Structure 1
Amino acid sequence: MADNEFDEIKFKQAVDMSTFSQVLAMDDEGECQFSLSMVLEFFDQGKNTLPDMENALQVSPFYVTLSHLNDCSVIFTAFSVQRDLPKLSFLARFLKGSASAYGLRKVRQCCEKIEHYGSKRNEDGSAAEYDEDLCLSRINSEIGILRNTLTEAQMAFEFFYKTKLA
């Protein structure tokens, strides 16, 4: 079996069954359509939230053309600064809640760290006096981990439902 394939042990490492069983309890007897639709909705949410997080980290250039300066057009490069810690914290908290509902421990942990860094706190939530650049750097690293963790969670659910989710 390749490292990226799932078995029962890897599934249980990725998904807390005591939590996920509460979602499964909402399914009709012998069917998993309701829980599957909820899981699919979660991954759609993740696919939409990650780019929003990445955008909140960006410093994007844009160009401004000023005309009529001595009959010359002058082009300046300016920067649009998105670097929005409160937004990053909010988005992480949003995704963390959903991950918790499905028993996705690692996803929840990543989101929790991003949420704390977005509030200029330590990864465990304790008070800190971090500057914005350090928090953004840590969030950037954690978003990479979150992306991989979401992929792992998707593979776990594909194993469980025996169907491709993407």
Structure 2
Amino acid sequence: PLQSCSQTHAPCPRPHPPEIIDMETFEQILELDEDDTHDFSSGMAWQYFSQAQVTFKEMDEALEKTDLTQLSHLGHFLKGSSAALGVNKVRTVCEKIQHYGLLWDDDTHKDLSRQEALDKITPLLPVGKKGYAEAETWLKSWFKVRGVNSPTEDDE
């Protein structure tokens, strides 16, 4: 089922944000588009998809090596790009990974041991990947309804 998005009145894919996308942030990105081709916003989205896939792979590798410093760095990086596009779940998960990688629990305001941090990060990565997959599906659907295909679909 689809619902109307405020800016273009074209259908929006469900589930409706804020579970997946912060619409206020996303609509600010859409305002940067010069016309209805959505060149800027779609380019930003496809760059995010590429970055997120690579970053999650690097996070898996860092977790395997128990490299908390790298996990914190990668969490910080992906948190920023997720926030810029309004991808809420990934932003939240990556912020937690960033803090846990620094041996800090922002919820309890307490220091963590290396093992505690790893124990908290391990189950978060699949949650972040699931949130990313939901956001990618939603965003691609949103753009497709507006006639914008992914760069690979344009080449086929």
Give the TM-score of the pair, scaled to structure 1: 0.75
Query: Corresponding residue for 1:12?
Result: 17
Query: Which 4+ residue blocks in structure 1 deviate beyond 3 angstroms?
Result: 6-9, 163-166
Post-superposition offset of 1:11: 3.4
Q: 5 Å matches for 1:1-166?
A: 8-13=13-18, 14-58=20-64, 82-124=65-107, 127-162=109-144, 165=150
Query: Corresponding residue for 2:7?
Result: none
Q: Which structure's residues are more often helix, by fraction?
A: 2
Superposed CA RMSD in Å reads 2.0
Over alpha carbons, which structure has the higher Rg? 1
8 A contact 1:112–1:123 mirrored in 2: no
Letter in structure 2 aligned against 1:46: A
1-structure distance, mates of 2:110, 2:104: 5
Query: Corresponding residue for 1:79?
Result: none
1-structure distance, mates of 2:12, 2:39: 22
Post-superposition offset of 1:164: 6.2
The 3-state SS of whatever aligns with 2:105 is: coil
Structure 2: gaps of 5 or more residues = 2-10
Post-superposition offset of 1:159: 2.0
8 A contact 1:26–1:35 mirrored in 2: yes
Structure 1: gaps of 5 or more residues = 59-81
Query: Corresponding residue for 1:76?
Result: none
* 1:73-105 alpha-carbon deviations (Å, 9 max, x no partner): xxxxxxxxx211111011001000011111111
